[in-house]
């Protein structure tokens, strides 16, 4: 009887070990399907390598103290990388996350004379598959992948539909209007347009979103709540004379009380042709829903 028990437990342990090994192998195989192939590059001590990314750099992690890196001044999508010591032998790595939700992995070796010092990731990404299955999710965008948010911004811009006709400001030959408000996954998309009917270029300084009390002085800072856009389709720039341009801005979801107003203001750099739009809560709650299955706008 004892021999039967010994045989039983030995068999059970062998089966359990086999199942565990098989599960571990399957897990390894499953991870292989999701692996991100790294880019390979060489760095040196006496020269700096530069990488140009399609979007602003949000996060950088270096694999060892043998590397130093930093964003280039006044260029949010350019990363400087070089070796902090001469002739390090072991391969190291670094990772980068950009604002469009892409994750980049790099393996790095030392070379006294690297064959390349500048890398254009913009061109590389254009030649690759556009699938974004590896999107990194950011807190401010909630459950919306950055690539989907970018696609919605682009689609609204390209469709260029006007679904609102009553919200506009006009003075000094400049007309600022709100063409539409859209909502998707708890985020607003504001579609704006600026028309410059004069021969004098309108150089945009900045745009602001503020919630103010209808009954108080609008310029009283204590009575204002400033809302910061999470994304915009294109940078704010100059509108040449006799030209019209549009933009789409992404903001977190909010509502305002009946005694409040939302002010959307656009300011001219070194000028006085500022424009202001006024919205009430009734305008916000009528935002058009975006169906992300077909991006119906």
Q: Which of 34-43, 61-70, 149-158, 224-233 has the lowest mean pLDDT?
A: 34-43
Pick from 285, 251, 76: nearest CA to 264: 251
User: Mean pLDDT of all residues in the chain?
Assistant: 85
| 77-92 tens-digit pLDDT | 999 999 999 999 999 9
> Which residue segments constitute the domains of the chain, with CATH numbers given?
39-136 (2.60.40.1550), 146-289 (2.60.40.10)
Q: Give the predicted TM-score (pTM) of the model.
A: 0.70
Q: Which residue has 């000094």 as its token pair? A: 172
Q: Is the pLDDT of residue 60 over 50?
A: yes
| 116-134 tens-digit pLDDT | 999 998 877 665 554 444 5
Average pLDDT value for residue range 245-273: 94
Q: Return the bridge partners of 245, or none.
A: 194
The reported pLDDT for the residue numbered 271 is 87
């Amino acid at each position: 009887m004892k021999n039967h028990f010994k045989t039983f437990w030995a068999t059970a342990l062998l089966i359990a070990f086999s199942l565990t090994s098989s599960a571990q192998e399957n897990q390894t195989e499953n991870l292989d399907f999701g692996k991100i192939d790294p880019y390979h590059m060489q760095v040196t001590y006496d020269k700096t390598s530069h990488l140009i990314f399609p979007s602003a750099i949000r996060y950088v992690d270096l694999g060892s103290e043998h590397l130093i890196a930093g964003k280039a001044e006044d260029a949010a999508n350019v990363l400087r990388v070089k070796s902090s010591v001469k002739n390090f032998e072991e391969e190291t790595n670094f990772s980068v996350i950009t604002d469009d939700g892409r994750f980049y992995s790099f393996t790095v070796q030392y070379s006294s004379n690297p064959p390349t010092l500048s890398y254009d990731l913009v061109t590389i990404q254009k030649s690759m598959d556009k699938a974004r299955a590896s999107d990194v999710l950011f807190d401010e965008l909630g459950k919306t992948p950055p690539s989907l948010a970018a696609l919605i911004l682009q689609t609204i811009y390209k469709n260029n539909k006007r679904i609102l006709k009553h919200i506009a400001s006009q003075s000094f030959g400049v007309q600022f209007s709100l063409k539409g408000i859209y909502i998707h996954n708890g985020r607003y998309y504001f579609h704006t347009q600026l028309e410059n009917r004069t021969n004098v270029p309108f150089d945009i300084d900045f745009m602001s979103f503020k919630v103010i009390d209808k009954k108080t002085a609008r310029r009283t800072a204590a009575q204002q709540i400033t809302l910061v856009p999470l994304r915009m389709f294109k940078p704010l720039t100059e509108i040449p004379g006799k030209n019209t341009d549009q933009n789409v801005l992404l903001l977190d979801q909010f509502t305002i009380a009946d005694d409040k107003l939302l002010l959307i203001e656009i300011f001219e750099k070194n000028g006085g042709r500022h424009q202001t739009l006024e919205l009430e809560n009734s305008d916000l709650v009528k935002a058009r829903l975006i169906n992300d299955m077909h991006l119906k706008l």
